[in-house]
Amino acid sequence: MERCITQTLQQHDFSPYCRNWIGTGPRPKPKTTNLIIMAKKKPVIEGLSDELNKIAAQNLDFAPARRLVRSAFTQIQQNLDHCLFQMAPPGIRTEEWYELNSKHQEIFCKSWLPKPGVRMKAALCFCHGYGDTCTFFFEGIAKQIAASGYGVYAIDHPGFGLSEGLHGYISSFDDIVDNVIEQYTIIKGRPEVRDVPRFLLGQSMGGAVAIKVHLKEPREWDGLVLVAPMCKIAEDMRPPEPLAKALTMLSRVMPKAKLVPQKDLAELAIRDSKKRKQASYNVICYNDQTRLKTAVELLKATNYIESQLNKISLPMLILHGAADKVTDPMVSRFLYEKASSKDKTLKLYEDGYHCILEGEPDEIIFTVINDIISWLDSRCTVH
């Protein structure tokens, strides 16, 4: 994800704003602007009726619309010919609810628990990636892990999925992190979770969230599982300092404004062509241009994490596709080398793209899921 944001920034001419920062002109005067933000037109989803395409094409800036769209597509998603849905184990207990956080936002929460009578080995708490939700492909991933004796818990970050907040807008990355801490503190108080090990699972941007959660509360978790984590900008992708400063200044004037369209993330992230088409059914994901403040916060977060890698001390499993073009697998190797964890494992999957849990050939998807389960099994005992 950080690669894509940087590539997008480098396509812009910010020279009128950079003059101030490099000393070649007067500082531009910020103005209060009534900005109309237009969402890009969504592509038609093949195989759907005009009525359903009309529902999917709604403006999803606010949570009530996203919730209505999700309810119209839940059954359609579960019937997709994708291994995560078609091979979902039966008997998994699920629960959905909303929690009002300290900022008075409704946060969507969901759990997947083992079959009745199966004792939980541990709790795995999920942090989803940029633009995503825990209600689409992750449903199938969670069921596979729950079937192996784990309680899986997930939330949608504010501004994403079914949680309240302007769609795709991150005013503060630390607010995302603090919300995760707040929600999972509540979940850790549930009777079935109190006395079992607790692990964090972070995917892409969610990997950065999970790392920052660990850095803020280093003794509250028993391990980290990071899938294609966004934790450092590769040197060849780092934006020039004047450009980064210009972006920061612009974000103060029009924080919610969107940048020019990015490259097709599905094309970059999902290797299997059939699964790439199925990704279009993730109808409440945010796939519009990155909002200015969001881009700034993501860049700030990766800069901070890069400077703190040596403080990561938890048992850690890092999984990454070797051909990932969204987050750099060499950065995962850098994370593995720099972290102070004594118990750490790095697995790179040959030819794997970014979405190794949902976008690869079936056998790779189940290999990755089983690698997670095996790693958890070796660090858990049934209480």
The pLDDT, as a whole number, for residue 33 is 40
Q: pLDDT grade, residue 220 (50/70/90)?
A: very high
Asked if residue 383 belongs to a domain, the reply is no
Residue 136, domain extent? 2-26+37-377
Percent of the chain predicted with pLDDT > 70: 86
CATH assignment of the domain containing 61: 3.40.50.1820
Q: What is the mean pLDDT of the chain?
A: 90
In a domain, 382, yes or no: no
User: What does DSSP say about strands 106-113 and 150-155: parallel, antiparallel, or unpaired?
Assistant: antiparallel
Confidence (pTM): 0.90
At 37 the pLDDT is: 44
Q: Is residue 104 part of a domain?
A: yes
Looking at the domain assignment, is residue 102 inside a domain?
yes
Q: Residue 75 falls within a domain, yes or no?
A: yes
Q: What is the mean pLDDT of residues 157-184?
A: 99
- Tokens linked to 167: 């769609």
Q: Is pLDDT larger for residue 238 or for residue 231? A: 231
Q: Does 24 or 269 have the greater pLDDT score?
A: 269
- Residue 343 confidence (pLDDT) above 50: yes
Q: What is the mean pLDDT of residues 177-196?
A: 98
379, HSE (Cβ side, Cα atoms, 13 Å): 25
Angle at 139 between CA 52 and CA 319, to 5 degrees: 125
The number of domains in the chain is 1
Query: What does the pLDDT average to over 261-265?
Result: 68
Sign of CA dihedral 147, 365, 83, 137: positive
Residue 221 lies in a domain: yes
The answer as to whether 205 is a domain residue is yes
Mean pLDDT of all residues in 258-272? 81
Q: Reply yes or no on whether the pLDDT at 317 is more than 80.
A: yes
Does residue 31 fall inside a structural domain?
Answer: no
Nearest to 286 by CA among 382, 180, 377, 156: 156
Mean pLDDT of 44-64: 95
pLDDT exceeding 90 applies to what percent of the chain?
Answer: 80
